[in-house]
């Protein structure tokens, strides 16, 4: 319907979502994780937990209820999901700039992600369907990854955290490998094939979809390298443990 399509003059939900994530971050920093030496790390994970699974649910709902093409005009629901994710990445980017300014990889990742979502949401007005499909894949591992990360922060001083990290690592790495290393590239290939064949002609400028593909492709490569490094570390730790038995 016309009322559900992209309308650049329609009010965005971005300010409300920004307030939501700022509030969650502050609650984590000053209340939930205040006993931590680095409470900002816990606050960031808490915010990521709030974003990841809800983003998957919201994006899946948008994809399933409005079957569309990769170059279709953004619907109101799709735009809301983009606003939700942009708010999270904006607040988390500020977190990195304040507390972890040398973590260039994550900062670059957040800036690039915001570029893709913002151009789709506010400038191009088309293509959210493809981006939400990739968002589902990107955030499908979020809940597991955040539990794994939080356990990693406390594994040296909390026995339970160390045990959770040890038990969770193999299935998490496997799940991450399948989603990011297999499903992600397949989705990106479908997206590239569609755009490359001229499917977005007249709807999405070439510079936009080319830059989106570059950003998304780079993110997938970095994700694969990250999980491979963790696999190597895990096998090394296992082999080291056997030597001392």
Q: Are 29 and 43 in contact, with CB atoms under 8 Å apart?
A: yes
Mean predicted lDDT score pLDDT of the chain: 91
Q: Per the structure block, which two tokens stand in for 184?
A: 């992600």
Mean pLDDT score, 197-206: 93
Residue 180: the pLDDT is: 93
Residue 24: pLDDT over 90: yes
Count the neighbouring beta carbons within 10 Å of the beta carbon of residue 160: 10
pLDDT digits (tens, 9 = 90+) for 116-174: 999 999 999 999 999 999 999 999 999 999 999 999 998 888 899 999 999 999 999 99
Query: Which whole-number Å values give the CA distances from 135 to 19, 76, 111, 194, 220, in the listed order?
Result: 22, 17, 15, 18, 12
Q: Which residues contact 243 (CB under 8 A, 6 or more apart)?
A: none
Q: Is 234 helix (H, G, I), strand (E, B) or coil?
A: helix
Nearest one of 127, 96, 122 to 109, comparing CA atoms: 96
User: What pLDDT band is residue 245 in, cutting at 50, 70 and 90?
Assistant: low
Residue 1: the pLDDT is: 35
> 34 φ, ψ to 5°?
-65, -25
Report long-range pairs for 75-80 (Cβ below 8 Å, ≥24 apart): 75/4, 75/5, 75/6, 75/128, 76/3, 76/4, 76/5, 76/7, 76/10, 77/4, 78/128, 78/129, 78/132, 79/6, 79/10, 79/12, 79/121, 79/128, 80/13
Half-sphere exposure of 42 (CA within 13 A, CB side): 17
Angle 79-13-217 from CA coordinates, rounded to 5°:
40
Phi-psi region of 218 (alpha: psi -120 to 50; beta: other; left: phi over 0): alpha
* Measured distance CA(118)–CA(120) in Å, rounded: 5
pTM tops 0.85, yes or no: yes
Residue 5: pLDDT over 90: no
Half-sphere exposure of 245 (CA within 13 A, CB side): 6
Mean pLDDT score, 61-68: 85
Counted domains in the chain: 1
What residues make up the domain containing 65? 2-243
């Amino acid at each position: 319907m016309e009322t559900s399509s992209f309308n650049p003059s329609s009010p965005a939900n971005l300010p409300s979502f920004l307030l939501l994530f700022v509030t969650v971050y502050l609650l984590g920093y000053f209340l939930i994780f205040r006993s931590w030496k680095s409470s900002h790390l816990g606050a960031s994970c808490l915010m990521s937990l709030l974003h990841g699974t809800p983003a998957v649910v919201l994006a899946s709902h948008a994809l399933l209820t409005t079957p569309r093409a990769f170059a279709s005009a953004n619907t109101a629901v799709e735009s809301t999901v983009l606003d939700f994710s942009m708010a999270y990445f904006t607040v988390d980017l500020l977190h990195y700039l304040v507390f972890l300014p040398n973590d260039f990889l994550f900062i670059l990742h957040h800036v690039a992600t915001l570029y893709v979502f913002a151009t789709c949401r506010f400038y191009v007005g088309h293509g959210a369907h493809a981006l939400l499909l990739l968002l589902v894949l990107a955030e499908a591992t979020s809940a597991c990854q955040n539990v794994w990360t939080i356990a990693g922060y406390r594994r040296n001083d909390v026995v339970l955290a160390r045990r959770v990290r040890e038990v969770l690592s193999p299935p998490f790495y496997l799940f991450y490998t399948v989603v990011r290393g297999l499903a992600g590239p397949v989705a990106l290939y479908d997206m590239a094939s569609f755009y490359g064949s001229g499917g977005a002609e007249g709807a999405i400028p070439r510079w936009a979809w080319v830059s989106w593909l570059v950003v998304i492709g780079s993110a997938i490569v970095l994700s694969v390298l990250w999980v491979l490094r963790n696999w190597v570390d895990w096998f090394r730790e296992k082999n080291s443990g056997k030597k001392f038995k």
